[in-house]
Amino acid sequence: MEKTTETRWEQLWDNFKFPLLSIFLAFLIGSIFIILTGNSPFVAYYALISGSLFGMSRIGETLLKTTPLIFTGLSIAFAFRCGLFNIGAEGQFIIGTLFTVTAGYIFRDLPAVVLIPLVLTSGALGGGLWAAIPGVLKAKFGVHEVIVTIMLNYTALFLTNFFIRTSLNPSTLQGDVQKAHSVILGDNARLTNMSDILPIFGNSSLHTGIFIAIAAAFVMWYLLYKTTMGYEIRSVGSNPFASEYGGISISANIIKAMFISGMLSGLAGATLISGLTFKVDQAPASAGYGFTGIAVALVGKNHPLGVLASALLFGILANGERKMQIAGIPKEVVGIIQGIIIIFIAGEAILQYFPDLKKKFKRKGSKTEVAEK
């Protein structure tokens, strides 16, 4: 029993030692850039931590920024488990916002107990259907999902902007003046603010979408590791040829994986609209939640529970950035830290393609351990 426990801890350490080392080195290198700006790394990182974690209101804002990143991180991770690179999470997120506000307006007279689940489901379905397009093209025609999803990201943005300027604009639906945003969701389509449930969160905008995000992570874990469908998806991702030989349909699992992946990104958009903005703004560029989700998934090793921790890290960085600016540290430092983390994580992925280099890396690590003993 003790050996089994030790083995599990060893496996856990093997899985996450590289991301942890990457984070440490990223902050270490980030310190150099902070010093170059004439500031102290200790002051900068204290501002980062205090701005995101000191006080329940700030913790609430950190969790608010973490929520969509959990969804998009899970989205990318789920697709990765099937051997797919869903770089279109951003577009699926945008379509999720479009479907959410559309459903919220069409069914605006329904009671909250019905309308809130309806708008969230609509956002998830919108993202899922949008992701199913590259899924079908990949499964049936062998079109690479990266190419299709990149194009669909721009299509989603321009399509949403079109509807905001026309059929979803307040000037069209409510006889109002032309606005650069969609119609606004009513109170019956909005998620509950956490401050209304727990006053300790103060003036934080955190909403109950955080619970949906955490629940989604555990549902994904169960689906991947405790169901036949999850086994088949992971099998296709690990070895598609062996899976096909064993009677598992590669094309069916590609489509399913992309659809579920898109649903998670769509839910990110749905909870953002229903819990925070209540409308979709016309934008010249996307918000970046889907692209940040790629980093979240990589740091979290494409594991649902790892994604939760990784999303929290990026949420802390995003929320603490403002306090760092007040302390005189350029906000670009946070972007540099995030970028360095991704570079190191990508470095581990590169080692997978160079087995000899990976063996040398492991051999050096084992020699160091023996020397220490």
Which two tokens mark 248? 């598992």
pTM: 0.89
Gyration radius of the chain over CA positions: 22
Q: One digit per residue, pLDDT tens: the chain, 373 residues?
A: 455 555 766 776 777 788 888 889 999 999 999 999 888 999 999 999 999 999 999 999 999 999 999 999 999 999 999 999 999 999 999 999 999 999 999 999 999 999 999 999 999 999 999 999 999 999 999 999 999 999 999 999 999 999 998 888 888 666 666 678 899 999 999 999 999 999 999 899 999 999 999 999 999 999 999 999 999 999 999 999 899 889 999 999 999 999 999 999 999 999 999 999 999 998 877 788 999 999 999 999 999 999 999 999 999 999 998 888 888 888 888 888 988 888 888 776 666 555 555 555 555 555 444 444 4
CA dihedral (134, 135, 136, 141) positive or negative: positive
Buried b (16+ CB within 10 A) or exposed e, 20-43: eebbeebbeebbebbeeeebebee
For 69: left if phi > 0, alpha if psi spans -120 to 50, otherwise beta; the answer is alpha
If you search the block for the tokens 């990949």, which residue do you land on?
A: 138
Q: Which two tokens stand for residue 160?
A: 């949403």
Neighbours of 190 (CB within 10 A): 20
According to the model, what pLDDT value does residue 373 have? Answer: 47
